[in-house]
């Protein structure tokens, strides 16, 4: 059984990792003007906002999901299953390195917060984050986008926008056909008719 050399899985997996998590340390902006107080507050807020374990799991999951998407190109079921096993094994090998990187990633987040927000703003953010409502909000804010009501609202928006998208596609298609006709292509035409609502690429 032939197995593809999946060195590209690393690139596929890191597509889901936040940029700050994969940038070299030299590429992360330093905070030269931040006071020790600002950095301390920023670290406290990051600790309230980002769980090291959850972030580590998210990076691992992102790697696996990105890698698994590449399996669709493998037609042979046995080979696809074997490569899927390889992905899981490789992810398990990566996990200690991911956890080892967590302190540096969290510190990078703290530097960004300290640069973006004033000491007074950070104090207010920490005060809110340490209240019951703040803890609840910070624990759930990332999950709000996947709630059924929110996804349904976005689906309705997409359906509402599609007629305008269709019209724009038809206009672009007609313009291209006219340009081809003007250049001498007598067979040029636009296939997007009133009955043909296919999306133009």
Q: Are residues 156 and 185 in the same domain?
A: yes
CA–CA gap between residue 101 and residue 93 (Å, rounded): 14
Assess contact for 13 and 22: CB atoms under 8 A. no
Assess contact for 190 and 170: CB atoms under 8 A. yes
The 8-class DSSP code of residue 142 comes to: G
Assess contact for 21 and 98: CB atoms under 8 A. no
Residue 3, in any domain of the structure:
no
Residue 108 has pLDDT above 90, yes or no: yes
CA–CA gap between residue 144 and residue 88 (Å, rounded): 29
Q: What pLDDT, in 10s, does the model give residues 152-177?
A: 998 898 888 888 888 888 888 888 88
Q: Are residues 36 and 130 in the same domain?
A: yes
Residue 62, in any domain of the structure:
yes
Q: Are residues 86 and 55 in the same domain?
A: yes
Q: Are residues 106 and 40 in the same domain?
A: yes
pLDDT of residue 185: 82
Of all residues in the chain, the percent with pLDDT exceeding 90 is 25
Q: Are residues 111 and 171 in the same domain?
A: no
Q: pTM for this structure? A: 0.56
Residue 47, in any domain of the structure:
yes
Q: Are residues 155 and 140 in the same domain?
A: no
pLDDT of residue 119: 95
Residue 84 has pLDDT above 60, yes or no: yes
Q: Are residues 116 and 43 in the same domain?
A: yes
Q: Are residues 28 and 117 in the same domain?
A: yes
Residue 2, in any domain of the structure:
no
Angle at 201 between CA 158 and CA 199, to 5 degrees: 50
Residue 111, in any domain of the structure:
yes
Tell me which of 40-49, 69-78, 92-101 is least confident.
Answer: 69-78
Q: Are residues 164 and 93 in the same domain?
A: no
- The count of other CB atoms within 10 Å of the CB of residue 105 is 23
185 or 26, higher pLDDT: 185
pLDDT of residue 44: 95
Q: Are residues 60 and 121 in the same domain?
A: yes
CA separation, residue 14 to residues 2, 80, 85, 121, 162 (Å): 25, 21, 18, 33, 32
- As given in the structure block, the two tokens for residue 94 are 């990566």
189 or 135, higher pLDDT: 135
pLDDT of residue 193: 56
Q: What pLDDT, in 10s, does the model give residues 40-72?
A: 999 999 999 888 888 888 888 888 888 787 777
What domain count does the chain have? 2
The 8-class DSSP code of residue 117 comes to: S
Query: Containing domain of residue 74, as a range?
Result: 8-146
pLDDT of residue 26: 46
């Amino acid at each position: 059984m032939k197995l593809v050399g999946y060195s590209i899985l690393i690139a596929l997996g890191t597509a889901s990792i936040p940029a700050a998590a994969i940038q070299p340390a030299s590429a992360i902006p330093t905070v030269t003007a931040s006071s020790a107080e600002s950095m301390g507050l920023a670290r406290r807020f990051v600790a309230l906002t980002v769980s090291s374990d959850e972030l580590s799991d998210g990076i691992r999951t992102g790697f696996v999901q990105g890698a698994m998407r590449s399996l669709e190109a493998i037609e042979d079921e046995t080979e696809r299953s074997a490569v899927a096993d390889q992905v899981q094994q490789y992810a398990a090998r990566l996990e200690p390195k991911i956890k080892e990187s967590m302190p540096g990633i969290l510190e990078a987040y703290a530097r960004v917060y300290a640069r973006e927000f004033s000491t007074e703003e950070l104090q207010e953010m920490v005060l809110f984050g340490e209240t019951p409502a703040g803890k609840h909000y910070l624990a759930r804010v990332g999950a709000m986008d996947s709630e059924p009501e929110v996804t349904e609202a976005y689906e309705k928006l997409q359906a509402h926008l599609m007629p305008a998208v269709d019209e724009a596609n038809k206009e672009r298609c007609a313009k291209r056909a006219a340009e081809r006709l003007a250049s001498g292509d007598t067979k040029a035409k636009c296939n997007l008719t009133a009955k043909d609502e296919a999306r133009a690429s």
